[in-house]
A and B are shown apart, each in its own frame.
Chain A
């Protein structure tokens, strides 16, 4: 299990590093074993920063990352190497993850020289073939090829296979299908869903809500480095409560509904939601109370022949 405990990342920006940029602020999140959690947000929301901190690619400014109870930020040397045995990442652009001069299989050889130097050739080949088959590739078709001879989807699955060679428990999947074509996208996505059967947990970073819904049990919505809504994916999608999540839901282009219809639906939901005075959000009356928020005021007579639906009407001048 991977746990983020009030995780923060601050960058120094400006000419002399005088001002601070809070990329991630106090994010607390738990990713249980065998679950896919999607991290959803727009660009600049800090979603990739979180992924990079988990992979120890950048330093943590505040808070902790705990992997099965071990503080990841403090790992060094052999400890860190053992951590990478269990935690790996796959990134957005499969084409630039490879060195075009070498054959694509080289990514496997690198794993071998670092982690499995004692393994015999035959044992290693069968291990690689096993991993390739696990990601739905035919080893005969894809081995011994250069990156440009393989499609984006195949390259991306290669990288997942590479991660599977290790004793993988946690995968950071950062926008792994946004560069792929629609026809191959879904295969990679299904593969992630299947990995759950191996008790693998995945942090699925995306800006596409429909992909998040397809793959994950839990979803977390980030806005400017803060978690604004988190929980059961189905609950968040069917009943988004944070205004930002709602805006996001209304903006996502969908194949089943037009934008106009989604907006009308959400507005209707908004009206149901407010149990109190419908004007509460825009009410400038200083006398407004918490009761206005919870109880909807009924029309009552303020003066003969003049009714008002407000618990604390403006004093007559």
Chain B
């Protein structure tokens, strides 16, 4: 197991009380797994990934632990995490387009970055150039400023920089949402390529775009309002989901070849609860067509078949 998250609970501390953005999340990722993390805005997907790399106030770890390659990550300790950041856990941030220092040439920025991690930039240069070839970037970009690169090129450059130290876990936060479809495809495929070449061991891809996940992810984890709803192989999530939320979410996605006259899709009525004071029990309860009395208690996230976990009383619970 490359990554194991156990009962991780992260709240945002505000003057009005705790925002319960991530509630006892437990899941595991295998070596070489590309896991998609999907859900509506505000469901806690970015909170989950951020807490794996930079957990700073107002975020606070309320419980649980994270194991990476059987080594516990000191996620609450900003200083101690420095030993892991970039080397073991790395991130391609949301809007990576603006992640590079605009006043430095990219090559200089890369060497500063390497020096800060105690690596000799000269020794790393051949590898850096090889990686540039891999993502089909001209080696000349090292002598250019970020402004001279297009959005897709910047995205690929950040990807190369983030993975330079062969991290065990790569977090890719909405990396394709600001790109054109053709660039999107190229970047998404490179992510798979990086995994195939074992540059990174496992990847968490955070997005709200399920169709991208269908293309590249091995497994998908669906979150709703700070709780894990369902995790299974991509095929299962898309074709045979079990959690009512996943079912509704998948059925509301328009597909090429569906026209509103013939097959009218429906959305999910209502909106997610506020996490400042979320309802007790299953947080999807109020919008759920299958809700019943048992749902006032939090459903456990249990494995109903190999590699398929669901948090719903209706599925695999005492009533099933």
Contacts from A to B (Cβ < 8 Å): 42-43, 151-154, 181-187, 189-190, 193, 207, 209-211, 213-215, 233-234, 237, 247-256, 258-259
Q: How far is the CB of B243 from chain A (nearest CB, A)?
A: 14
> Interface-forming stretch among B70-78, B154-162, B167-175, B251-259?
B251-259
**A-B pair number, CB within 8 angstroms:** 112
3 smallest beta-carbon distances between A and B, as pairs: A253-B211, A183-B268, A42-B180
Asked whether, in the complex, the Cβ of B181 is within 8 Å of the Cβ of A182, the reply is no
Whether, in the assembled complex, B97 has its beta carbon less than 8 Å from a beta carbon of chain A, the answer is no
A253 vs B185: C-alpha distance when bound (angstroms): 8
Known A189-B260, A213-B256; further 18 A-B contacts with Cβ < 8 A: A42-B181, A42-B182, A43-B180, A153-B267, A153-B271, A183-B248, A183-B268, A185-B252, A190-B264, A210-B211, A214-B260, A214-B265, A252-B211, A253-B181, A253-B185, A253-B188, A253-B209, A255-B255
Whether, in the assembled complex, B208 has its beta carbon less than 8 Å from a beta carbon of chain A, the answer is yes
Asked whether, in the complex, the Cβ of B254 is within 8 Å of the Cβ of A189, the reply is yes
Given known pairs A182-B252, A183-B252, the reply for A251 and B211 (CB within 8 Å) is: no
A184 vs B265: C-alpha distance when bound (angstroms): 11
Asked whether, in the complex, the Cβ of B214 is within 8 Å of the Cβ of A182, the reply is no
Contact of B254 among A153, A186, A237, A258 (CB under 8 A): A186
Asked whether, in the complex, the Cβ of A210 is within 8 Å of the Cβ of B260, the reply is no
Asked whether, in the complex, the Cβ of B181 is within 8 Å of the Cβ of A184, the reply is no
Asked whether, in the complex, the Cβ of A186 is within 8 Å of the Cβ of B255, the reply is no
A42 vs B248: C-alpha distance when bound (angstroms): 29
Asked whether, in the complex, the Cβ of B185 is within 8 Å of the Cβ of A251, the reply is yes
Contact of B40 among A183, A193, A210 (CB under 8 A): A183
A-B contact pairs, 7 of them (CB 8 A): A42-B182, A187-B267, A189-B265, A215-B260, A251-B182, A253-B209, A254-B215
Asked whether, in the complex, the Cβ of B252 is within 8 Å of the Cβ of A255, the reply is no
Asked whether, in the complex, the Cβ of B180 is within 8 Å of the Cβ of A207, the reply is yes
Inter-chain contacts of B5 with A (CB < 8 A): none
Residue of B nearest to A213 (CB): B256
Asked whether, in the complex, the Cβ of B212 is within 8 Å of the Cβ of A253, the reply is yes
Inter-chain contacts of B210 with A (CB < 8 A): 182, 255
Residue of B nearest to A209 (CB): B256
Q: How far is the CB of B12 from chain A (nearest CB, A)?
A: 17
Contact of B249 among A183, A234, A248, A254 (CB under 8 A): A183
Whether, in the assembled complex, B184 has its beta carbon less than 8 Å from a beta carbon of chain A, the answer is yes
Asked whether, in the complex, the Cβ of B215 is within 8 Å of the Cβ of A253, the reply is yes
Given known pairs A182-B249, A184-B271, A210-B256, the reply for A255 and B41 (CB within 8 Å) is: no
A251 vs B180: C-alpha distance when bound (angstroms): 9
Asked whether, in the complex, the Cβ of A254 is within 8 Å of the Cβ of B184, the reply is no
Asked whether, in the complex, the Cβ of B40 is within 8 Å of the Cβ of A258, the reply is no
Q: How far is the CB of B276 from chain A (nearest CB, A)?
A: 13
Task: Name the interface residues of B201-246: CB closer than 8 Å to any CB of A.
Answer: 208-212, 214-215, 238
User: Counting chain B CB atoms within 10 Å of each CB, which of A151, A215, A234, A249 scores highest?
Assistant: A151
Given known pairs A181-B208, A189-B260, A214-B258, the reply for A258 and B215 (CB within 8 Å) is: yes
Given known pairs A182-B252, A183-B268, the reply for A252 and B257 (CB within 8 Å) is: no
A251 vs B212: C-alpha distance when bound (angstroms): 10
Residue of B nearest to A194 (CB): B260
Asked whether, in the complex, the Cβ of A254 is within 8 Å of the Cβ of B212, the reply is no
Chain B, interface SS category: loop
Asked whether, in the complex, the Cβ of B257 is within 8 Å of the Cβ of A256, the reply is yes
A259 vs B40: C-alpha distance when bound (angstroms): 25
Inter-chain contacts of B264 with A (CB < 8 A): 190
Chain A, interface SS category: helix
Asked whether, in the complex, the Cβ of A251 is within 8 Å of the Cβ of B260, the reply is no
Contact of A248 among B41, B182, B252, B266 (CB under 8 A): B182
A211 vs B215: C-alpha distance when bound (angstroms): 18
A209 vs B250: C-alpha distance when bound (angstroms): 18
A209 vs B248: C-alpha distance when bound (angstroms): 22
Given known pairs A42-B180, A183-B249, the reply for A213 and B267 (CB within 8 Å) is: no
Q: How far is the CB of B141 from chain A (nearest CB, A)?
A: 21
Asked whether, in the complex, the Cβ of A259 is within 8 Å of the Cβ of B215, the reply is yes
A38 vs B264: C-alpha distance when bound (angstroms): 18
Inter-chain contacts of A258 with B (CB < 8 A): 214-215
Residue of A nearest to B189 (CB): A259
Given known pairs A182-B210, A213-B256, A213-B258, the reply for A252 and B181 (CB within 8 Å) is: yes
Inter-chain contacts of A253 with B (CB < 8 A): 181, 184-185, 188, 209, 211-212, 214-215
Contact of B256 among A187, A193, A252, A259 (CB under 8 A): A252
Contact of B267 among A185, A211, A237, A248 (CB under 8 A): A185
Inter-chain contacts of A211 with B (CB < 8 A): 254
A182 vs B253: C-alpha distance when bound (angstroms): 7
Given known pairs A189-B260, A255-B255, the reply for A184 and B182 (CB within 8 Å) is: no
Inter-chain contacts of B256 with A (CB < 8 A): 209-210, 213, 237, 249, 252, 254, 256
Asked whether, in the complex, the Cβ of B259 is within 8 Å of the Cβ of A213, the reply is yes
Asked whether, in the complex, the Cβ of B181 is within 8 Å of the Cβ of A255, the reply is no
A154 vs B249: C-alpha distance when bound (angstroms): 18
Asked whether, in the complex, the Cβ of B182 is within 8 Å of the Cβ of A247, the reply is yes
Asked whether, in the complex, the Cβ of B184 is within 8 Å of the Cβ of A251, the reply is yes
Asked whether, in the complex, the Cβ of B211 is within 8 Å of the Cβ of A214, the reply is no
Q: How far is the CB of B118 from chain A (nearest CB, A)?
A: 39
